[in-house]
Amino acid sequence: MFIVNLRSRRIFSFAVIGAIFVLMLGCTPSHNQSTFDPLGPVAANQLFIFNVIFWVAAVIFVAVEAALIYMFVKFRRQPGDGDPIQVHGNPKMEIAWTIIPALILVIAAVPTIDGIFFAANPPPNPAGGPALEVDAIGRQWFFEFQYADPNDASKKIVIANELHMPVAEPVVFRLDSRDVIHSFWVPKLGGKVDMIPNNDNSLWLQADEVGEFYGQCAEFCGVSHANMRFKVIVESRTDFDAWLQEQAAPAAETVDPLALAGKDQFRSANCIFCHSTGRGSGIGPNLSHVASRLNLVGLLPNAEEGSFVVNDAMLQENLKRWLTDPDEIKPGNIMSREADAYNKPEFALDESDVDALVAYLMTLK
């Protein structure tokens, strides 16, 4: 109706192409936490609903903005104009633009509510048996994960910062927190659910491809909220079972003299008060297999980009950096604030203490 001549048609087309170009710039599925790269059914369902609403909204957006631009041009007052007709309203039109949006919203609501129930109810495990359950516990400022021990269901395996999942199976996460509210979010696998102390929140996710996925806390939880990140490693069922057995095994014993000195340091500097090297969940993350993790403290990569094998040189450097000045890496972290080694001069670590500790921690594969 308002594309009345070639010039305004050209302007309009240019504007539409420009808008599409700008919008396409916003879709970057290759980025680590992009919601446009759904690699599991929950994320895919949520993206589908987004697309339904987005394209309807885009049409409305174009219509409204184009109408405003048209009015900007067409109804400009000219010198000598008198008063326009004093129209007070048009009930038919008003009813129309009440009912039509309401109908559009009904169309949006149906798949939305369907999606809510889909995300709330984990599907049956295609491999048969119950779905794998993992306890995900938010702590200031790291994620702790607990798995049932494959050899003794009454016991737990406690790890931190790195979650493993078997591919193409639904996994149920039981969410909890030891302090404030956190939120568990792996954008490429699905939307987030909050981790609230003493609350029985849970969510299910399924990853349909093997690989490494990025997760991040998504509820403001204090000083280092920005640094509360984790990785999800998705692998075949066989590889996952093997990994779980490794985690279930006790921490490696070492005979290296520097590492043994480090083990003594671990006790005498009181690290053992907070960090278990067994099955415990203490104030700090469990360290029994810390040297097998692909990142340290959820932030520092221990492996090359795209690799699933720990690079010992990178791990060593990260451990040294962390132990020398943890507050520089994760400001406000509880170890810097409260651990004897960082607060009482008689427990302070000099460089040789740090090197010994690093050597010990590197044996905890």
Partner 1 sequence: MSTVPFAIPRPTYPTGVWSWITTIDHKKIGVLYGVTAFVLFIIGGLEALLMRIQLTSSNQDIVSPEVFNQLFTMHGTTMIFLAVMPLSAAFFNFVIPLQIGARDVAFPRLNAFSYWTFLGGAILLNSSWFLGGATNAGWFGYAPLTSIEQNPGHGIDFWIISLQVLGVASLAAAFNFVVTIINMRAPGMSFMRLPLFTWMTFITAILLVLAFPVITVALIELYMDRTFGMNFFNVAAGGDPVLWQHLFWVFGHPEVYILILPAMGIVSEIIPTFSKKPLFGYGTVVLAGAIIAFMGWMVWSHHMFTVGLGPIPTSVFVITTMAIAVPTGIKVFNWMATIWGGSVDFKAPMLFAVGFIALFTIGGLSGVMHAAASSDAQQQDTYFIVAHIHYVLFGGAIVAIIGGIYYWFPKITGRMYNEMMAKVNFWVMFIGMNMAFFPMHFLGLDGMPRRIYTYDSNMGWDFWNGVSTVGVLVLGTSFLIFIINIVTSWRSGETAEADPWDGRTLEWSIASPPPEYNFEVIPTVYDRDAWWAEKRGKVQHGVPVGGGSDEEEHSIHMPQPSYWPLIVSIGLIISAYGLVFHSGNFIVASVGLLIGVIGVYAWAFEPVNEPE
Q: State the helix-helix crossing angle for 351-362 and 257-268, rounded to 10 degrees.
A: 110
User: Computed from CA positions of residues 345, 346, 352, 354, in that sequence, does the dihedral angle turn out positive or negative?
Assistant: negative
State which of residues 28, 236, 245, 352 lies at the interface with partner 1 (CB under 8 A).
Answer: 28
- Other CB atoms within a 10 A radius of the CB of residue 349 amount to 17
Please identify which residue in 3, 17, 60, 242 interacts with partner 1, judged by CB under 8 A.
60
Task: Give yes or no for a contact between 342 and 239, defined as CB atoms under 8 angstroms apart.
Answer: no
- CB-CB contact of 169 with 206 (8 Å): yes
Candidate residues 282, 303, 332, 347; the one interacting with partner 1 per rule CB under 8 A: 332
Which one of residues 168, 210, 214, 292 is an interface residue with partner 1 (CB under 8 A)? 214
Which DSSP letter does residue 278 get? S
Tokens 């779905």 map to which residue? Answer: 131
Q: 290 is written with which tokens?
A: 């810390």
Site track 127-166 with partner 1 (rule: CB under 8 A), x = hit: ----------------------------------------
> Does residue 318 interact with partner 1 by CB under 8 A?
no
Q: How far is the CB of 202 from partner 1 (least distance, A)?
A: 8
Residue 278, token pair as written in the block? 């067994």
Binding mask 94-123 for partner 1 (x = CB under 8 A): x--xx--xx--x--xx--xx-xxxxxx---
Q: Which of 143, 141, 123, 140 is nearest to 132 (CA)?
A: 123
Residue 77 touching partner 1 (CB under 8 A): yes
Q: Does 337 bind partner 1 (CB under 8 A)?
A: no
Among 8, 12, 15, 33, interactor with partner 1 by CB under 8 A: 33
User: How many other C-beta atoms are found inside a 10 Å radius of the C-beta of residue 275?
Assistant: 21
Q: Is residue 87 involved in binding partner 1 (CB under 8 A)?
A: yes
Residues 295-314 that bind partner 1 (CB under 8 A): 299, 305
Nearer to partner 1, 14 or 55 (CB): 55
Residues listed for the chain:
365
Distance CA 184, CA 217 (A): 6
Q: Does 44 bind partner 1 (CB under 8 A)?
A: no
Q: Does 46 bind partner 1 (CB under 8 A)?
A: yes
